[in-house]
Structure 1
Amino acid sequence: MPKALLWDFGNVIVRWNPRTLYEKVIPDPVARDRFLNDVCTLAWHGPTDCGVTFAENCSALAAKHPEHEAEIWAWHHRWDEMFSGAIAETEAAIEALHARGVPQFGLSNISHETLDSTLAMSPAFGRLSGVVASGLEGVMKPDPAIFHLCCERFEMAPSDFLFVDDSARNIAAAQALGFDTHHFTDPADLQPALERRGLI
């Protein structure tokens, strides 16, 4: 049975969706879908989670799509508007685990430029004893190297962790390395998953 938690951040502890911002930036839904599917894509954003600055990434994309320059730069300058608050069920679980003395850590694909502002979005982040952030390490989930880094840094074996993430790819990668996992798709499923493992 696991004895520690390893938490993803986005859509596990706090809600993140670029559409939350771009519903304000691009009111027309067809134009907005086209922009997010063809211009500011998640694949394009990926390098910022691996250490490339927002300014570098936005500049390169704006050079390719000058007609969307303002919308592209909103990704950088209005980043925090992509968030819509903390997930109450996860906050409650983190507090319950803390009360029981269960060690808790973070593993997130996140830019080094947005790490501090994200950690300020919920007091639950203050319960984490350590964080591995891809933007600081230059490696991202689902690369096995970042999971090995967590084990080394937090001095635990893969089987010691329950890893909670909303990405099926990341969950599969962790399972292959021997982590216990919970695929976070419905906040209501979190507490039962923790109870089954005797963590709360």
Structure 2
Amino acid sequence: MTEIRHIVFDIGKVLVHYDPDLPFSRLIPDAAERKWFFENVCTSAWNIEQDRGRTWEEAEAEIIPLFPDQEENIRNFRRHWHEMVPHAYDDSVALMERLIESGHDVTLLTNWAADTFIEARQRFPFLEKPRGVTVSGEIKTIKPDRAIYDHHVKAFGIEPSAALFIDDSQKNVDGAKAAGWQAVLFTGVEPLEADLSRLGIRW
């Protein structure tokens, strides 16, 4: 196994908490109605297209005619986005910062809408500490598509076999491995620290 020289973090649910239920538990108090809304209206498949580069205006224009009675809630998805990302995971951020301070090459690779990532940068200054970031909404391709991993490699001069990718989604971990990277599934800081130690990474 190639020695790891590059460490690449996902952001959502690895460094920053994300949960659409946070605002919508207030906006749609009935749990069954809220579940229906996320399963049929503002679905994960609908939302991921903003990560792929579709604008929120385009996203709303596409779905509001299909669910006109839900227009307010559809628009609330973007209006209240900031509530969906209420805080960072301090222990994950501290580990990332220790890796950087120890001299490791750290970058970020995220599925994130371009405009909301601008806000995230302002709210979470630690996102500026790694060497750089690939944002799916800016390059219009998402994990686990092979193209986003290849883009990151080219943009940051990374040798795929010497890169370790850390993501909370198994399909994204599998996508990195298919692109020739090493990768681990993030389930918490302690398991990640164990993975790093197992792979010979010190901090």
With the length of structure 2 as denominator, give the TM-score of the two structures: 0.94
Are residue 113 (structure 1) and residue 115 (structure 2) matched?
A: yes
CA distance in 1 between counterparts of 2:186 and 2:51 reads 21
Q: What SS is found at the alignment partner of 1:106?
A: strand
Q: Distance in 1 between matches of 2:94 and 2:128?
A: 13
Tell me which amino acid in the other structure corresponds to 2:156.
F
For residues 185 and 163 of structure 1, the distance between their equivalents in structure 2, rounded to whole angstroms, comes to 13
The amino acid of 2:84's aligned partner reads M
Distance 1:57 1:150 in 2: 26
2-structure distance, mates of 1:101, 1:34:
47
Q: Which runs of 4+ in 1 moved over 3 A?
A: none
Q: How does 1:179-194 map to 2 (within 5 A)?
A: 179-194=181-196
Q: Structure 2 regions of 5+ residues with no counterpart?
A: none
Which amino acid in 2 is paired with 1:101? Answer: G
Count of residues in correspondence between the two structures? 200
Separation in 2, partners of 1:193, 1:175: 16
Instruction: Determine whether 1:170 maps to 2:176.
Output: no
Shift in Å at residue 124 of structure 1?
2.5
Give the drift of 1:7. 1.0
- 1:57 and 2:74 matched: no
Question: 2:81 matched to which residue of 1?
Answer: 79
CA distance in 2, matches of 1:165, 1:81: 22
Within 1, Cα distance between the matches of 2:98 and 2:107?
15
State the alpha-carbon separation in 1 of the partners of residues 10 and 84 from structure 2.
Answer: 17
Moved more, 172-181 or 116-125: 116-125
Partner residue of 2:125? Answer: 123
Q: Deviations over 1:14-55 (max 9, x none)?
A: 011111121111111111111111111010112111111111
- 1:43 paired with 2:45, answer yes
Query: 1:61-95: per-residue Cα shift (whole Å, max 9, x none)?
Result: 11110111111101111111111311122111111
Shift, 1:125, TM fit: 1.1
RMSD: 1.2
The residue type equivalent to 1:174 in the other structure is: A
Over the matched positions of the two proteins, sequence identity in percent amounts to 31
Deviates more, 1:72-81 or 1:118-127: 118-127
Aligned match of 1:2: 4
Question: Runs of 5+ in structure 1 lacking a partner?
Answer: none
Matched, 1:88 2:79: no
**In the aligned structure 1, how far is the partner of 2:136 from the partner of 2:179?**
18
Aligned-residue offset at 1:5:
1.1
Counterpart contact for 1:89–1:188, Cα < 8 Å: no
Q: What is the rounded CA distance, in whole Å, between the counterparts of 1:179 and 1:125 in structure 2? A: 22
User: Aligned letter for 1:65?
Assistant: F
